[in-house]
Chains A and B, each alone.
Chain A
Amino acid sequence: MQIKKDEVVWLLLFIAPAIILFFLFFIIPILFLFVTSFTNWDGISAEFVGLENYTKLFNKKSFVRAITNNLYWCLTAALITVPLALIIALLLAHRSRGWKVFRTVLFIPQVVSSAAIAMLWAAMFNAEYGLVNFLLDYIGFSDYKNHNWLGNVRTANAALIGFSLCYVGYFMVIMLAKTAGISEDYYDAANIDGASQFQKDLHITAPLIKSTFFLCIILAVIFNLRQFEYVYLMTAGGPANKTQVLVVYIWNELSVQRLGRGNAAGVIMIAIGAILLLSLRKLLKSETYN
Chain B
Amino acid sequence: MQRDLSSNFYFIFKWVIIISFVFYAVFPFLWLVLASLKTNAELLDDPFKLPAVFQFQNYSNAIREAGLGKLIINSLVISTSATFLNILFSSMCAFAIARHTFWGKNVLFLMITAGILVPLNALIIPYFAIINFLNLYDTRLGLILVYCAVGLPVSTFILTEFFKSIPKEIEEASFLDGCNFAARYFRIMLPLALPGLATAGTFQFILCWNEFIYAMLLTSSTDIRTIQFGISYFTNQFFSDYVGMFAAVVISILPSITVFVLFQERVINGLTAGSVKG
Residues on A close to B: CB < 8 A? Answer: 1-3, 7, 10-11, 14-15, 17-19, 21-22, 24-26, 28-30, 32-33, 36, 84, 87-88, 91-92, 96, 102-109, 111-116, 119-121, 123-124, 128-129, 131, 134, 165-166, 168-170, 173-174, 177-178, 196-198, 212, 215, 219, 222, 225-229, 233, 246-247, 250-251, 253-254, 259, 262-263, 265-267, 269-270, 273, 277
A26, B22: Cβ atoms closer than 8 Å:
no
Report if A173-B272 is in contact (Cβ < 8 Å); known contacts: A10-B182, A106-B25.
yes
27 interchain pairs, CB-CB under 8 A: A3-B101, A14-B93, A14-B185, A15-B92, A18-B156, A26-B149, A32-B130, A88-B21, A111-B206, A112-B257, A113-B253, A114-B210, A115-B210, A116-B249, A120-B28, A120-B32, A129-B43, A131-B47, A169-B25, A174-B271, A177-B276, A196-B6, A226-B122, A228-B121, A246-B122, A263-B125, A273-B117
The residue from B6, B122, B128, B213 contacting A269, defined by CB atoms under 8 A apart: B122
Residue of A nearest to B259 (CB): A111
Question: Which of A26, A228, A247 gathers the greatest number of chain B CB atoms within 10 Å?
Answer: A26
Which residues of A lie under 8 Å from residue B158 when comparing CB positions?
A: none
Are A177 and B100 within 8 A (Cβ)? no
Contact of B126 with A by CB under 8 A = yes
Residues of A within 8 A of B257 (CB): 108, 111-112
- Whether the pair A174, B6 counts as a contact (CB closer than 8 A) is no
Q: Pick from B25, B119, B261: contact of A273, CB below 8 A.
A: B119
Q: Is the CB of B232 within 8 A of A18?
A: no
Residues of B near A198 (CB, < 8 A) are: 6, 10
B31 within 8 A of A: yes
C-alpha spacing A131/B93, complex, angstroms: 49
Interface, chain B (partner A; CB < 8 A): 3, 6-7, 10, 14, 17-18, 21-22, 24-26, 28-29, 31-32, 35, 43-44, 46-47, 88-90, 92-93, 95-97, 99-102, 108, 111-112, 115, 117-130, 145-146, 148-150, 152, 156, 168, 171-172, 175, 180-182, 185, 206, 209-213, 217, 228-229, 231-232, 234-235, 242, 245-246, 249, 252-253, 256-257, 259-261, 264, 267-268, 271-272, 275-276, 278
A26-B149, A112-B257, A131-B47 given as contacts; is B25 within 8 A of A21 (CB)? no
Given A111-B267, A119-B245, is A21 in contact with B14 using a C-beta cutoff of 8 Å?
A: no
CB contacts (< 8 Å) of B120 on chain A: these are 226
B128: A residues at CB distance < 8 A: 254
- Give Cα distance in the complex from A265 to B123, angstroms: 10
Q: Give the distance to chain A from B197, nearest Cβ to Cβ, in Å.
A: 15
- Would A196 and B175 count as touching, CB distance under 8 A? no
Contact A215 B275 (CB under 8 A): yes
Question: Are A120 and B29 in touch, CB under 8 angstroms?
Answer: yes
| Cα distance A2–B252 in the bound complex, in angstroms | 48
**In the complex, residue of chain A having the shortest beta-carbon distance to the beta carbon of B10:** A197
Contact indicator A113/B209 (Cβ below 8 Å): yes
Is the Cβ of B275 less than 8 Å from the Cβ of A219?
yes
B interface, by DSSP: helix, strand, loop or mixed? Answer: helix
Are A254's CB and B272's CB within 8 A? no
Chain A contacts for B31, CB-based, 8 A: 124, 131
Q: Which of B44, B212, B267 has the most CB of A within 10 A?
A: B212
Question: A29-B123, A226-B122, A266-B122 in contact; A24/B249 too (CB < 8 A)?
Answer: no
Q: How many whole Å from B104's CB to the nearest CB in chain A?
A: 10
- Within the assembled complex, what's the spacing in Å between the Cα atoms of A177 and B217? 36
Give complex CA distance A265, B78 in Å.
30
Nearest opposing residue in chain B for A109, CB measure: B25
**Given A113-B210, A266-B123, A277–B117 Cβ distance below 8 Å?**
yes
User: In whole angstroms, what is the CA distance A183 to B163 when docked?
Assistant: 26
Chain A residues, CB < 8 A from B115: 22, 26
Q: Are A25 and B124 in contact (CB under 8 A)?
A: no
- Residues in B whose Cβ lies below 8 Å from that of A26: 115, 118, 149
> Shortest CB–CB separation between residue B225 and chain A, in angstroms?
13
In the bound complex, CA of A161 to CA of B109 (Å): 36
Say whether A1 contacts B264, CB under 8 Å: no
- Distance A220 CA – B6 CA, assembled complex (angstroms): 33
